[in-house]
Amino acid sequence: MHRNLEYRLSLESKKNKLTREAHILIEGGRLEEARDVIQRLPNHKRKAKKLFYQALDLHTGSKGKVDFAESKHLFFESDRLGAPLATMWLARCYYRGLHARMNGCQVDVKRGEEWAMIAIEEVKKLAKKGDSNAAFLLGAAYEDGLAIKKDLKQAFTWYEKGAKKENLMALYALGQMYDSGHVGVKDHRQALKLFRLAAKRGHAGAMLILALKFEKGLGVPRDQKRADYWYNRAEQRGLRGSLR
């Protein structure tokens, strides 16, 4: 964390009042206060947000090809510029070991927990203000018990809030909850509806799930033609199904 803060400070002149204030706080070991000061630098906020959205697009494949390695790199850059959503995303990535075989994150539970503790309060604030990405990440934190007490009902609630704004990750996560029956009775029809909406908006992972469902008849009648359609759509975005 110290290294990330120093990286951000190198982007600003030390003559800047806010930068000098942040350096003093860092030297005193008051890193959270230093982060708050640095976040008041407006150009960094805009750039951090832009990088976060670019990383998200590469993760889902919503704007073209899936690229987990480049996505992770951009999340790191966004985090270095002080974006709490990027910090929380990386925390979840390491905690779960997301896409480790495809240049994603190797499992590092301790690292995930430490990063989540840094970002969780800001993520809560953003989620309560209506940010759909924060709603998804807060839901994921509740689902995993990451920097917060595990609560599947709260996870469902926050995923649902994000899904109502058609957030891709929230749609996908909520679909998985309906599919698994983690909260209440399984509802394959509602899960299918959510996966379809996520897939139509470009989520390559949702495309693969639809392909699998139609191929195996999971909650829907078997339909190889539809399965092939969704497998092809996913492959066009760089994500290949393991059953094909």
Residue of 27 and 134 predicted with greater confidence = 134
33 within domain boundaries: no
204 within domain boundaries: yes
234 within domain boundaries: yes
pLDDT at 11: 47
Domain hosting residue 221, numbered range: 172-244
- How buried is residue 42: exposed, middle or buried, by Cβ count under 10 Å (0-12/13-18/19+)? exposed
**Confidence class of residue 185 from pLDDT cuts 50, 70 and 90?**
confident
Residue of 186 and 128 predicted with greater confidence = 128
Opening angle at CA 25, ends 20 and 29, nearest 5: 145
pLDDT at 207: 97
179 within domain boundaries: yes
Dihedral in degrees, nearest 10, Cα atoms 117, 118, 121, 125: -140
Check pLDDT > 60 for residue 5. no
235 within domain boundaries: yes
Q: pLDDT, tens digit, for every residue of 86-126?
A: 999 999 999 998 876 666 788 999 999 999 999 999 999 99
236 within domain boundaries: yes
Opening angle at CA 204, ends 116 and 125, nearest 5: 30
pLDDT at 35: 74
pLDDT at 19: 64
Q: How many domains does the chain have?
A: 1
C-alpha–C-alpha distance, residues 115 and 93, integer Å: 10
pLDDT at 215: 95
Q: Pick from 39-43, 79-83, 158-162 the range whose average pLDDT is largest.
A: 158-162
C-alpha–C-alpha distance, residues 12 and 8, integer Å: 7
202: domain CATH number?
1.25.40.10
Check pLDDT > 60 for residue 232. yes
232 within domain boundaries: yes
216 within domain boundaries: yes
Mean pLDDT of all residues belonging to the chain: 87
Check pLDDT > 70 for residue 241. no
